[in-house]
Amino acid sequence: MSTPEPVFEAPWHAQVFALTVHLNEAGHFDWSTWATRFGATLAQNGLTKELNGGDDYFTAWLETLEAFLADANIATPQAVEQFRSAWERAYLRTPHGAPVHLGD
């Protein structure tokens, strides 16, 4: 039996997808609203580059999610940027192959 192809190209694609599904299931937004806004983001970003379900696609997904978080007062753009910076610092100081830990 062969190993199935991964559904996502990168772990962060799966993580941002799962987070979005979780927020939807927790009632923070309905999926039809999400689909409309995500479609608008894809259309906007697709004008300058082809989106193929890889990084470009999930960067647009993340952009839409961050806008939802800000609009719903769940996370301000400043809080998202602080978290992103903390994650980058943690990632850069973590040896290759080791798990990344924030706040260590």
The mean pLDDT of 65-85, rounded to a whole number, is: 90
The mean pLDDT of 8-37, rounded to a whole number, is: 92
Question: Could you tell me the pLDDT band of residue 23, with boundaries at 50, 70 and 90?
Answer: very high
Please tell me whether the overall predicted TM-score, pTM, comes out greater than 0.85 for this model. Answer: no
Element (H, E) at 39: helix 31-46
Domain spans of the chain? 11-93
Q: What percentage of the chain exceeds 90 in pLDDT?
A: 44
Q: Please give the C-alpha separations between residue 90 and each of 16, 28, 70, 87, 103, in angstroms, as whole numbers.
A: 19, 29, 24, 5, 8
Predicted confidence at residue 61, as pLDDT, reads 94
Question: Could you tell me the pLDDT band of residue 47, with boundaries at 50, 70 and 90?
Answer: low
Is the pLDDT at 16 greater than 90, yes or no?
Answer: yes
For the chain, counts of helices (H) and of strands (E): 4, 0
Return all residues near 100 (Cβ < 8 A) that are at least 6 apart: 87, 90, 91, 94
Predicted confidence at residue 26, as pLDDT, reads 94
Predicted confidence at residue 48, as pLDDT, reads 66
